[in-house]
Structure 1
Amino acid sequence: MARSRRVSHAPSPRGGFRNRHGRGLRSSVTGPHLPVLRTRAETFEGTVAETADYLRGLWPEDLADVSFEIAGIPRAVGQAGLDRWWVDQHAKRIVLYRLPIERLSHLHVDDESHQRMYVESCVFRAVAELLGRDPWDLAPDRFRHF
């Protein structure tokens, strides 16, 4: 025997409409007590921005007009494979390619901190190429622990 079911399409006390199963609107996956997750692209952009700000603080005159940009992949394959970044000396522009940096890194430990350090090292090497310096000379006091 079929049971009759009453379905209410009136607004619920929470302010939304209930669906036909009476469950209400869906909430976020993380729930109300957890922080919203960041995407890989947002994490990459944040790491590049923080590293660029750090280097601008160390080299304010040299990096004042430099623009840092992020692209997915390079348009063409270079002689050594996919480029990780591209530096335009005349326009003072650095373009970092997110997908080759993230996916072709071959880290010995693939966790968040090692990925962040690899992205930071790519920014350091791109800035060093722009300035014509060694990457280790950009922040020499950072590596002196004693």
Structure 2
Amino acid sequence: MMAKPDSVQLVADALLTLRRRQRRGHLAGSAPLDQIHIAEIADVVASHDQPVTVGDVARELMIDPSQASRRVASSVDASIVVRVPVQHDGRLSGLRLTRKGRSLVGDVQQRRRIAVEEPMQSWTQTDRQQLATLLTRLVNDLEPDQG
């Protein structure tokens, strides 16, 4: 008889399942991979008040700089982001969202919300809040030390 998995293993397994479903497009809707990459760039840029560099994109998406550079170039070509000078270092260019990019971010956020909201319709507000609190805490605790 197999032992019942502990709570840590259950969480790890659930996170793995979520990751696999996300990769298959269950949480973002079905879209070509290049469009998913462009949306990821838009998300990163939208999450900052100041322009972000290609290096920032690479770090946040945990991809190598050359891959980040290619994805950023596609995002520029698609008019989702524009390159702007970085004030503290004239050698660098930063990225800002265009109007089209802001619209994309809003659309993607809405699709994500629907994808999560629908299966939680029968949940109580307390259960939803508890999940939000604990999941946010886990995500923050999983973040590598910045120091």
TM-score (norm 1): 0.24
Computing the radius of gyration over CA atoms, which structure comes out larger, 1 or 2?
1
Q: Which has the higher helix share?
A: 2
- Tell me the TM-score normalised to structure 2 length: 0.24
Higher RCO structure (Cα 8 Å, ≥6 apart): 2
